[in-house]
Structures are given as C-alpha cells and as structure tokens.
Structure 1
C-alpha cells in the first residue's frame, strides 16, 4: 500500500471462522487521491445491525444487516483531497461524520442511519492557524467533544513556533463552543514527532472529562471534574520508546454499569521491547488518572511487529477490544501483515488474541501512525475496519463479528 498511489478502493467484509460468520462481499468504491487513507466505523446504539463506515476523502458506506451487504451514500461531498476522517454515533441514534481538509477546516455531517446526510456545518477553529489531527468523542448525554492540534504555522522552521491541543464542544454538531486550549506543554511545528498530536477526549458517565495526547514522545493528560475547570499542569503518563515505530495513544473510559465504571484505559504501540519488536501496550487507571498500571503487552506472539492499534469499550458490558496490524508471520524483515483482534473481559488484566483477516497482505515499509484502523462496539457487536494493500492498490476492509462468536466469557465482576 503506497500513499502516493492513485487507485481504486475496495470495501470487503471478511467472513470469520466462527458462529455468525458472514458471506464475503466486495464493493467497488470511488477512485480518489490516496494522499492520506483513513477509515472509521460506527454502530447505531439502538440497532447494532446498522453500521456505517467512512473513508477519506468523502466516502461513506452503510449496512442495515450487520455487514452482509453494503451500500454507498451519495450525498456526502469531499471537503478536500486529504485530511482526517472521523465517524461516531452519539449513543442516541445520530451518526456524525467529520472531515478535515488539508488547511485544517473541519466539516460535520449528521445522519440518522448513514443513508441520508444533512448538509455540513463548519467547526470553529483558530483563525489564521493550521488545525489538524482531529479526534472526536461523545458523552453519555450525546454531546460532542472535538479535540485537535493547532499549529501557529505548519511547516515552520521557527523554533518559537508552537503546536498545542484545543477542544470545542457541541450538543448537536451544528453549534460549537469557543475553542479552549487544553495543553500547557508546547509542541514544535517543524518536527511531527515533537508536535502536540493524537488528542482524544474521554468522558465518564458522571461527566468527568479527560483528554490525552502525545508531545515529544511523551503521553500527557489533562482533566476536568466539572467540565470547565481544567488542571493548570499537564499530567505525564508515560514516555514512548519510539524508534523506529510508534503510534499515538487512545484514551477511553468505562461507562458500563459495574465495579469498573469510571476506569480509564489507554493503548498505543511502541518498541520498548526492542528496536525491531513493536508491540501493543495497555495501561489503566482507577483513580482518575492519578496513578496508572505498568504497561502490559496485549499481543501474544513470541516476536514480531504489531502496530496501529484501535481500541473500543462496549458501553453495555465493559469488554475492552483492541484491533491491530500483526507481522508475526513474517520472516526476517518481511512485510507479510495480518489483522488481529484482542479483547479483555476483566478490565485489562488479561487479553485474548484472534486473527480476523483471512489472508496476509503487503504492509507499509514505514508504519502508519494513525487512521489505518478503526473499531466500534455496541451490545456485543464488534465492527472493525482497516486499510491494506490489495493487488497493489489501497483497499478498505471491514469485518463484523459478535461477542459470542469470539467466545468472550461471562463478564467478570471483581
């Protein structure tokens, strides 16, 4: 898969060797510049058979039968040739699709089922700034929280040029609050690995708000217990062992009713096991981010590259799921890549791993940091999406399975 390739996307539903498997399907998608392939997925909370997939730039697909058949939406225009693609459900039955074009203008589309989308509204961001790397989440009431990186200028060789994390909120995707700066630790503008990036908000059921991001290979977090007053200093979580591969962090909060409600979960990929051994890591906090567990490796191979994790927590059961690329079948420096799904039913104490792709494919030489995997979970339905090579062309694949098909055990309560 090569990001300079101008090619045909394919959306394919992969059958799983378990109960509830689907018939394989492949849908030809629109030809588009592959400057920055990204894919995202969301599930309707009241009808988990209604799943929506979005790819960059400006392509949206939906299924009403749990992934057995897909159709493309025709009324979502592309706002630019490249940029971030984010898709989510608010928990009450509305889908939101966000596009960010190259200069950093984000548009928000809304739909009830992924078939018909309302005209886009613009999300206000800093004027005369470069705004990129958007992350979006929704709280239990359906309000939206959009975080992003703001560059004074980009690219810039000026050492004084700053990048920082900002956030804006909306109750309906149409009217947005005045953006607020969240980070205190400045990032650079002339080096992506020293920039503030990869931000994502996590909102607990009681409204406690958290935002995590990466600056200079250090994962930081800020929080607010009342939704308005944020800490005056960034909380340092951990530093990545980032050469040569790493990923931006994903922060989620457990909103399922039970003893782990309110726990914070974080995952990422880095090479702390060795320069040529990238792994997927997991930590959690049960005291609002004051303290975190030691990094725990999720993948269960002896040695090999794992990268680009996407994480989701089932809001009804609290089961944690992590999707990632895996090269355990490669020999030496080979690029034979598969897709694995890991899950934990005990709050992250133990993870189980299962290969969900049917055939290996040629992976990237330079591993992508973000956007090539996506994951959504609702009521035991798991929908995964990823970007891979298919016969020398970029392709988007999706696989849908269930908690029962994976053999997830009874949820632990202690």
Structure 2
C-alpha cells in the first residue's frame, strides 16, 4: 500500500471504565383484554427482594364497569400477564394503589363500591399477594362506611428495617370527616380503628409516606385555603399533631385544555437510604408560576420532618411560559437516595393537547435535575378519553425504582382508547456523556472523563468545593489548587488542565492499516484528541503542511480510509486538546485550529 509515516503525537489521561447507557426500554401495553373500554389510574411497585418482579394495578372497565386490573412481570417488565383482582363482597372497585413490603409481599388497595355506583366508596379493601402478584388472598376491608362516603385512598408500606417494619398505612378522604388514616401491624390481616389527621377545611387527596425510623407523614390538598397541607406521626401512625403547610397553590383542581382535570395532590416520598440526606421528605406537585399560566411540575423538600420546606424548584425543563402543560406527577426515592419523577407533558404539541410521559432524576436531593427524558414512544390525545369520569384520563400515574432501574406506567391513547402502558429505564444516561446515571459522578452535567479532583465521589463539574479545601468554589480564587487563578483558568475545577497538553509518543497503525492509535496523555492535561494529516512530500522537503483531519475524539484513536495517489504518501500527528487549545505537535511542528 502507499507509504504512511507516523510522527510526533499527543494523547490524553487514562480514564475510568464507563458504562454505555441504554435508552428507555420498549413501550409495552399491559392490559390485554382487547376491548375498547377504559383503563387508567395506574400505580406499580417493584419487589425489593427480586428486582425482576414488577406488579402494576389500574382502574379497568373491561367488563363494562369499574374493576381493578393487575399486571405481573417476572422479567423486569419484558413480558407481562394481566387479569382482574379477584371478586369480593363488593361488586365494583376503583382508585387502586400498591406497595411492597421488605419481605416482597404486595398490598393492593381499592375503593370498594356498591351497585349503587357513585364516585365515593363504601369500603377501602386491601388485597395481599405473597407470590409476586401471581395470586391474591381474599381482601380485608380496612375501613367501611355505611354511607359510601370514602374516597382518594393511598397506601404506604413501612420498609424502615426497625421495629415497625412491615406495618401498612392507609390514608383516605372521608366526605364527612376530612383526612383519616389506619394501619395494619400484622401484615394486612387486620386494620386498627381509624384515626383523625386533618384539623378541618375542604380537603382531599391524602398521600402517606414512611420515614427511616417508622415515622408516618401524610400530605393532602386543602381547597378552602389553596395550599398543600402536611401532618406527621412520630409513633408510627398512632397519634397526629397540628396541620402544617407545605406550599401555597395557584391551582388546586381544574380542567386544562381537552377537558382533563388536574389536581395539585402531593406525590410524597422519604429518603430512607443510609446516605447524607436520610430522612429528607420530598413532595412533587403541579402548579402554575403565575395566574393563568401553563401548569408545571415543582418539588419542595424538608430536612426537619416537615417543620419547614424549601423553595419550589421547577422540574420540567421546557422553556418558561411555553404554553405547554405538565400534569399528573408521581415520585420515587430509591434505596440510594436518588429521586425520579414521572409526569404527563404536552411540550411536543404546539396546540397543547396531546401528551407524552416524561421523566427526570435528581442525585443531589432535588437541588438539580437531569435533562427531561421522554418515555412514551407515541403521543396520546384526549380524543381517546371515552368518558369524562375521574378527570377524563384518571388522576394519577406511577413509577418505582430499585438498584438504579426505573419502572414507569401511564395512561396512553395511541390505540384510540385509554390503555395502560409501561416502559423501563435501565442505565439511563441523562446528560448524554456515555456514563450511566448509576455510575456517573456528575449525572446532570456531561463529564465523560469523570474527573474528581478531591476524590469525594462528586465530579468536578458538580462539586461546590472541587478541590476539597473547605472553601466553596465561589469563594475560592483557585478552585483546583493548580496555581492558576480562576480568572485565568479555563478549567477552574480541574487541576490537571492548567495549560495546553504536552507532546507525547506512540503513534502506530492498527492491523487494519487505516486506523491510527496513540498513547494517552500521561499528564492528564488533554480532555480530547484530534488527528492531523499531511502530505509526505512536504515532510520530505523539510516542511509541514498537516491539517486537522478529525477532532473531538474521546480516545486517542481515529481512522482514515482515504489513500494517497500513486507515488505519494501521508504522515499523521496525534494531538491532545483542552480548553487552552491544541497541544504541542513537537518542536517546529505547527498545529492550527480545526475547521
């Protein structure tokens, strides 16, 4: 083949192994009944003893009236079986939810209805499965009402690992009595007498959560005051204190475009990890930034058991006041303390009508969020709503997480009617840097090289004190302690980058004859590479005419399939690059910019 000559080169630092990030998994329809009936109001839970076991529940009209559908997967959502929860003494059911305890038992709760129908229930019933959702015991009525005035119940399983582990907590709205709760301390075999939680007001939509020491928290919406309220029990749900306020609201319950009712319920979870934010309470909710504006998803957090709350932080990252509504949020905090929120989002439709399911994650206690990721592979429209009951498309959707993997479920009308759709997200790479979120030391900012100057596990680009000297970056004149003041340093948090990369050696041709490989820059100054090519005739004449062939390389490796003409040849230079510019090509060998 025509001659090729290798000359001086530069390279980059050695890097940690990185994980290729998987995309959001395939969308799967869970209800297989084949009818055109309505299916919505979904929740799901992952078995903490078996991450391949996922169980979902939803409101299901396949028989022409309200029942509860249940879907079971034993392969992390790749395949599903679905049916209806077993018959009970109550002919109809609605408003389902689910949780899993530490032993892997699933508890599905339903609002049990009489033949008289209506939107309020005569009982709240709990079904238990001890075999991963494949079968369910006869339900236990946790609470009954002779007047059929129960509504909007939610469940929480205590997985604190302490003396209250295994307790099951229910909270609901009693039309005549406000927010109430009960608990089971015997694995769902029985439930204690109800306890009053709310102090008054026009209230609804209670959501319970359990803290790391068995504390129980409940949040709800107060329509009369236009606020989200909160109460806590420090004795595992036995006694309750005065109501507090999580946040004021500009929206509590109203229809948005297409006739979809949205409610500002508090999707609430607690960090029960052993990490630095253990015990932090998080609430995701819908609200407007200003009266008449589009609806957004916000987060507030409390580090003192709900005594005080952070300022609201907007999670959806579409442009402010874009006119696109976001609604129906749900929240999960995994065993490592990472947060994830799912919601329905209209940013993809300029008419603000069709929606998709979206997702965002936070690895710093909700202070920052990854770029939003679309989960659904097809858009949905209210035209597939079929009925105006329960807000047209139901009032909530679901998400759960285990070992960094996310499982999501939502209402979808791509087939012309309301169905239940599911998608997993494994090894999600939210910032697109090629490092999966679960392995990324800075998952919200692209940093493929994972540089961590002070070795604290937090990447330089996300670390408020990059050099670990006790001074925050905004107070430190030399954040990376490289001797170059931040004002003169284009990489102020990276001590390895204080000048252009040096020259290195080792350029060789790979066995295919068209790929060139060179050594990584041992100094660590190079953050990427480029390959230059020149004409051999110029080199033999004592001059250099090489120019940039390819740039932006992560590894010191590039290919060139072009062959020189007869009697001619190419020479190559491998160069290191950082924010200070192109590295040295060696004495007398210029290196110009890439086009």
> 1:220 aligns to what?
229
Segment drifting more, 359-368 vs 276-285: 359-368
The normalised TM-score by structure 2 is 0.59
Out of 172, 179, 183, the position equivalent to 2:194 is: 179
* Alignment partner of 1:30 is 2:48: no
Q: Deviations over 1:142-177 (max 9, x none)?
A: 21110000012xxxxxxxxxx400000013112101
- Listed as ranges, the matches of 1:219-298 within 5 Å are 219-227=228-236, 228-231=238-241, 233-242=242-251, 245-298=262-315
Q: Deviations over 1:176-195 (max 9, x none)?
A: 010001010232xxxxxxxx
- Listed as ranges, the matches of 1:349-360 within 5 Å are 349-352=367-370, 353-360=372-379
Gaps of 5+ in 2: 1-19, 60-66, 114-120, 160-164, 256-261, 431-435, 443-456, 464-595
Q: Quickly say closer, same or farther: Cα 1:90–1:32, change in 2 above 3 A.
A: farther
Could you say what secondary structure the match of 1:329 adopts?
coil
Q: Deviations over 1:211-268 (max 9, x none)?
A: 111111311111122233321x211221211166542111211101111000010110
Segment drifting more, 35-44 vs 276-285: 35-44
CA contact (8 A) 2:343 2:357 kept: yes
Segment drifting more, 116-125 vs 380-389: 116-125
Out of 58, 80, 83, the position equivalent to 1:55 is: 58
Out of 93, 97, 100, the position equivalent to 2:104 is: 93
Counterparts of 1:286 and 1:222, CA distance in 2: 15
Counterparts of 1:312 and 1:335, CA distance in 2: 27
CA contact (8 A) 2:400 2:407 kept: yes
> 1:41 aligns to what?
44
Counterparts of 1:310 and 1:27, CA distance in 2: 19
Structure index of larger Rg: 2
* Higher strand fraction (1 or 2): 1
Counterparts of 1:360 and 1:25, CA distance in 2: 14
Out of 169, 184, 204, the position equivalent to 1:145 is: 169
Q: Quickly say closer, same or farther: Cα 1:25–1:383, change in 2 above 3 A.
A: closer
Displacement after TM superposition at 1:381 (Å): 2.0
Out of 106, 115, 134, the position equivalent to 2:124 is: 106
Displacement after TM superposition at 1:360 (Å): 1.6
* Alignment partner of 1:305 is 2:325: yes
Displacement after TM superposition at 1:205 (Å): 1.1
The normalised TM-score by structure 1 is 0.84
Gaps of 5+ in 1: 1-16, 153-162, 188-195
CA RMSD of aligned residues (A): 2.6
Counterparts of 1:24 and 1:252, CA distance in 2: 26
Q: Quickly say closer, same or farther: Cα 1:249–1:45, change in 2 above 3 A.
A: same
CA contact (8 A) 1:273 1:279 kept: no
Segment drifting more, 404-413 vs 266-275: 404-413
CA contact (8 A) 1:185 1:234 kept: no
